[in-house]
Amino acid sequence: MSISPPNIFNNLENYDQEILNYKEWFQFLINLQNVINESTMMFYKNREIKMAYFPITTGAISSPSGKGSDSIPVKVNLFDKQTYLTDSNQFLLEYCCRIIPKGCYYIMPSFRGEPCDERHLSQFYHSECEIPGNLDDIMNLVEEYIRYLSKQIYDKYKVELEKSLGDISHIENIINYKGKFKRITFNEAEKMLKNADNENINNYIKYENGYRILKDKGEKKLLELNNGIVWVTHYDILSSPFYQKTEGNCVLNADLLLGFGEVVGCGERHDNFTDLLNSLKIHEVDPKDYKWYLTMKEKHPLQTCGFGMGIERYFMWLLKCDDIRNMQIFLRMNGKTINP
């Protein structure tokens, strides 16, 4: 079987007919999804981390319209009540850590309000996990998880991957990576980009009022300078959501850049009421929308950390594909259903 991605986004009106012309591609995607589900369950089973079921609606979105939010929430009317489609179940995973000693995980859809493009989907599959611990603990878990998934897929579909992609050294490099993945702080990343070439640093980093944001082009350049994989840690406080724990003038977070850009985001959470409340105010987010979350931190303080991986983004890296829209079988484009 030779697999190649479709190129049919200029003919979306006939997508439901065209899909059968790319049967092998979509068949392979379903096979990969199956490996992800089976392997994820086995990975966490060995660590006594439990799967939890969550609703797809929430009143406490992880990216509210405050400083540091990096996505637009999707508001819906449900039984005459305004609520949101889930953009992440991180807060509920934190709650579950108070019940399950070693933490919980899930894989389910997340919803974002941004327009779809080569890097973003408005509905994507999210693999998230939360455990008791700190930033280093969750980064180590992510690296183990990425290696494990890649090894399972490699063992099962090496022949197909080689036939379709030719060079699959990027997968082999992950599986055989010695030690921890390279880790650099945002400050170090900025210096690296400034010294990279004669290009203006503003092409790589967006400078807002009091904080910095790494642009897509900056992520790609950092990957070029770090052999295709690197963690960027300790972002500016106002460039990250309110729930990330702070240390000095930065937050205890990390993004794993892989292939084309960010594939995993993770962080250490506030462990007490006072720090969380202060962070909500700094990010200009109304505390009343997070009353239960504040109460949990007050009555049941616990240091947790967690990550979220976009499965379609992982597939982009795996299959060397430059358009994330090829990673979905049933297209959901900016809230519109293109096929059944």
Task: Answer yes or no: is 7 within a domain.
Answer: no
CA 201 – CA 183 distance, rounded (Å) = 21
What DSSP state is assigned to residue 15? H
Task: Answer yes or no: is 59 within a domain.
Answer: yes
What are the tens digits of pLDDT across the range 78-134?
Answer: 888 889 999 999 999 999 999 999 999 999 999 998 888 888 899 999 999 999 999
Task: Answer yes or no: is 154 within a domain.
Answer: yes
Give the chain's mean pLDDT.
Answer: 91
CA 73 – CA 114 distance, rounded (Å) = 9
Task: Answer yes or no: is 5 within a domain.
Answer: no
Q: Strand locations in 137-296, DSSP E?
A: 183-185, 205-207, 212-214, 229-233, 246-247, 250-251, 253-258, 261-268
The pLDDT value recorded for residue 330 is 78
Calculate the CA dihedral of residues 287, 290, 293, 297 and round it to 10 degrees.
Answer: 0
The pLDDT value recorded for residue 13 is 64
Q: Which residues contact 58 (CB under 8 A, 6 or more apart)?
A: 83, 84, 85, 86, 87, 89, 91
Q: Please return the burial class of 165, using the count of CB atoms within 10 Å of its CB with bins 0-12, 13-18 and 19+.
A: middle
Task: Answer yes or no: is 42 within a domain.
Answer: yes
Task: Answer yes or no: is 299 within a domain.
Answer: yes
What are the tens digits of pLDDT across the range 230-275?
Answer: 999 999 999 999 999 999 999 999 999 998 899 999 999 999 999 9
Task: Answer yes or no: is 2 within a domain.
Answer: no
pLDDT (mean) for 124-148: 98
Question: pLDDT at residue 5 above 90?
Answer: no
CA 57 – CA 106 distance, rounded (Å) = 15
DSSP three-state, residue 184: strand
What are the tens digits of pLDDT across the range 44-87?
Answer: 999 999 999 999 999 888 887 677 777 788 999 988 888 999 99
pTM above 0.85, yes or no: yes
Supply the CATH number for residue 251's domain: 3.30.930.10
Task: Answer yes or no: is 6 within a domain.
Answer: no
Q: Which residues contact 225 (CB under 8 A, 6 or more apart)?
A: 192, 196
Q: Say how many domains are in the chain.
A: 1
The encoded tokens of residue 10 equal 């200029």
Q: Could you tell me which of 301, 242, 188, 216 has the C-alpha nearest to residue 67?
A: 242
- Domain residues for the domain of 235 are 12-337
